[in-house]
Chains A and B, each alone.
Chain A
């Protein structure tokens, strides 16, 4: 593994993780355009650091760069304002394929609403809970990898994950119209 990261090029080692990098950027920034900016900037940084990369986990390495780039971005805490939660369902991501994947338009609409609502609930979590949850559930990182990416002790990762899940459920239960 170490040999492949030393031998491999940026294209073969880092670029396979573009989706993961984008997913994290998108959930951190909560805005499509800001996420793409962060992704671009993170890739440039990754390219600069790559000759020194000796690790065995390029995905975690790239995600850490994405996270640091996002935290350095002034737009990080503006995502919720930039994109009002009510219309956070935009044209990218999994939402775009709903109409074709579902024959029945009514069911497609219900699914689309459920997704929209889920996204709004996740987006409303504080950033440190949100990133922990996204890294665990969507990127399927281990606690150790999350600790590495977020530069946080494992104990903190565990309690953040717990709080994130409880907050999400609590918000889902108190939400009107449920």
Chain B
């Protein structure tokens, strides 16, 4: 725009509406004005054009290699930090006794009861699953072929995750991605049942023995986890409990 371009005071509101910042009443008031203001009528098209241009420039997602570098350099600092956090909790807990005793105790107790390692892991998994459902975040490699998906992990992980396709059983493989959980990089395999996405997270177990599937639930998502062949497997989905249970059973049975 040049300075001499005609400007209408209401144009900033046209922009606000374009950006989804106006409520219904404001939008109605604006509509009345716009009906008779050619400048505001033209503004809308320009806003859309600017948006197209910007989106064409594109998003700079962090490339895989840079992500590894950045996380690697962060690693030495992370454990120390986590220790600090635990100490902070202890200080809070002891200090909290004096003030608002009842409430503080109840809150602290609830938190202690809700946060054993597996609770925390369930939360992490559900958060990761929800994040993955955002557009463009689901798969790093899109393939229904396990012979494409499995080699994709070579060099990206320090273990070889088992990859199975359950298409015959109604759970086709859609692709995979890397994820970061429980202080380590893990494999996330993406399966689909009708319109439901299932994320299956896989990483090496510290215990060798197998364990049969256990169901839990968090934030409305169903979670099933089991141990198989030295691997921990956690599946998260909005599928019904029974169907997710079937998925876990089928997965174990599939060679």
The answer, yes or no, to whether A26 is at the interface (CB within 8 Å) is yes
Most buried by A among B5, B51, B66, B111: B66
Q: How far is the CA of A12 from the CA of B180 in the complex (A)?
A: 9
The answer, yes or no, to whether B53 is at the interface (CB within 8 Å) is yes
Contact, CB under 8 Å: B127 / A138: no
Once A50-B81, A92-B63 are accepted as A-B contacts, the answer to whether A40 and B54 lie under 8 Å apart by CB is no
Contact, CB under 8 Å: B46 / A169: yes
Most buried by B among A142, A161, A170: A161
- Residues of A close to B57: CB separation below 8 A: 115, 118-119, 121-122
Contact, CB under 8 Å: A169 / B50: yes
Contact of B54 among A16, A50, A137, A162 (CB under 8 A): A137
The answer, yes or no, to whether A143 is at the interface (CB within 8 Å) is yes
Q: Mark B42-81, 1 if CB is under 8 A from A, else 0.
A: 0000110111011111111111001101110110011001
Q: How far is the CA of A95 from the CA of B59 in the complex (A)?
A: 10
The answer, yes or no, to whether B1 is at the interface (CB within 8 Å) is yes
Main secondary structure of the interface of A (DSSP, over half): helix
Contact of A143 among B5, B19, B50 (CB under 8 A): B19
Q: How far is the CA of A44 from the CA of B78 in the complex (A)?
A: 9
The answer, yes or no, to whether B192 is at the interface (CB within 8 Å) is no
Contact, CB under 8 Å: B60 / A93: yes
Contact of B15 among A23, A121, A134, A162 (CB under 8 A): A162
Contact, CB under 8 Å: A10 / B66: no
Main secondary structure of the interface of B (DSSP, over half): helix
The answer, yes or no, to whether A159 is at the interface (CB within 8 Å) is yes
Contact, CB under 8 Å: B58 / A115: yes
Once A11-B183, A16-B131 are accepted as A-B contacts, the answer to whether A133 and B54 lie under 8 Å apart by CB is yes
Total number of A residues with any Cβ neighbor in B under 8 Å: 56
Residue of B at shortest CB range from A164? B50
Q: How far is the CA of A170 from the CA of B50 in the complex (A)?
A: 10
Once A12-B127, A26-B60, A47-B78 are accepted as A-B contacts, the answer to whether A122 and B73 lie under 8 Å apart by CB is no
- Residues of B close to A161: CB separation below 8 A: 15, 19
The answer, yes or no, to whether A51 is at the interface (CB within 8 Å) is yes
- Residues of A close to B47: CB separation below 8 A: 165
- Residues of A close to B99: CB separation below 8 A: none
Q: How far is the CA of A87 from the CA of B210 in the complex (A)?
A: 55
Contact, CB under 8 Å: B74 / A47: yes
Q: How far is the CA of A18 from the CA of B63 in the complex (A)?
A: 10
The answer, yes or no, to whether A153 is at the interface (CB within 8 Å) is no
Q: Which of B82-90, B168-176, B194-202, B237-245 is found at the contact surface with chain A?
A: B82-90
Once A11-B183, A162-B11, A162-B15 are accepted as A-B contacts, the answer to whether A115 and B56 lie under 8 Å apart by CB is yes
Q: How far is the CA of A115 from the CA of B118 in the complex (A)?
A: 45
Q: How far is the CA of A12 from the CA of B181 in the complex (A)?
A: 8
Contact, CB under 8 Å: B50 / A23: no
Once A27-B60, A118-B57, A121-B57 are accepted as A-B contacts, the answer to whether A10 and B78 lie under 8 Å apart by CB is yes
- Residues of B close to A22: CB separation below 8 A: 60-62, 66
- The smallest beta-carbon distance between B254 and chain A, in angstroms, is 30
Q: How far is the CA of A161 from the CA of B127 in the complex (A)?
A: 32
Residue of B at shortest CB range from A15? B180
- Residues of B close to A119: CB separation below 8 A: 57-58
The answer, yes or no, to whether B21 is at the interface (CB within 8 Å) is yes
Which 7 A-B pairs rank lowest in CB-CB distance, beginning with the nearest?
A: A166-B1, A118-B57, A26-B60, A22-B62, A165-B50, A94-B58, A118-B56
Query: Beyond the given A16-B128, A43-B74, could you list 16 further A-B residue pairs with CB under 8 A, ordered by the A residue number?
Result: A7-B115, A9-B85, A11-B180, A21-B62, A26-B60, A39-B70, A40-B73, A40-B74, A44-B77, A47-B78, A47-B81, A51-B88, A93-B61, A136-B19, A162-B11, A162-B15
A-B contact pairs, 22 of them (CB 8 A): A4-B123, A8-B127, A9-B82, A10-B82, A12-B127, A16-B131, A22-B66, A26-B60, A36-B70, A50-B85, A51-B85, A93-B58, A115-B56, A118-B56, A122-B53, A142-B21, A159-B12, A161-B19, A162-B12, A166-B5, A168-B50, A169-B1
